[in-house]
Amino acid sequence: MFKTMCIFVALIVLLYFNFIMSRPQNNRKISSPPLMQGFKPFGIPRSALETVMLTYDEYEAIRLLDYEGLMQEQAAEHMTVSRPTLTRIYESARKTIARAFVEGKMIVIEGGNVEFGQPWFRCKRCFKLIDGLENHVQCKGCKTYCNDELTPINKL
pLDDT in tens, the chain (156 residues): 666 766 767 667 666 666 555 555 677 778 778 888 889 999 888 888 999 999 989 999 999 999 999 999 999 999 989 999 999 999 999 999 999 999 999 999 988 777 777 777 777 767 777 766 666 666 666 666 666 677 777 654
Torsion of CA 26, 66, 126, 32, to 10 degrees: 40
Burial of 56 (0-12, 13-18, 19+ CB in 10 A): buried
Question: Are β-strands 129-130 and 121-123 bridged in parallel, bridged antiparallel, or unpaired?
Answer: antiparallel
Torsion of CA 107, 112, 116, 121, to 10 degrees: 50
Is the Cβ–Cβ distance between 28 and 76 less than 8 Å? no
Helix orientation angle between 83-103 and 72-79, rounded to the nearest 10 degrees: 100
Cite the DSSP H helix spans in 23-143: 56-62, 72-79, 83-103
Please choose, from the candidates 25, 33, 54, 29, the residue with its C-alpha nearest in 3D space to the C-alpha of residue 152: 33
Cite the DSSP H helix spans in the chain: 2-20, 56-62, 72-79, 83-103
Q: How far apart are CA 57 and CA 78, in angstroms?
A: 11
Whether the model clears a pTM of 0.85, i.e. scores above it, the answer is: no
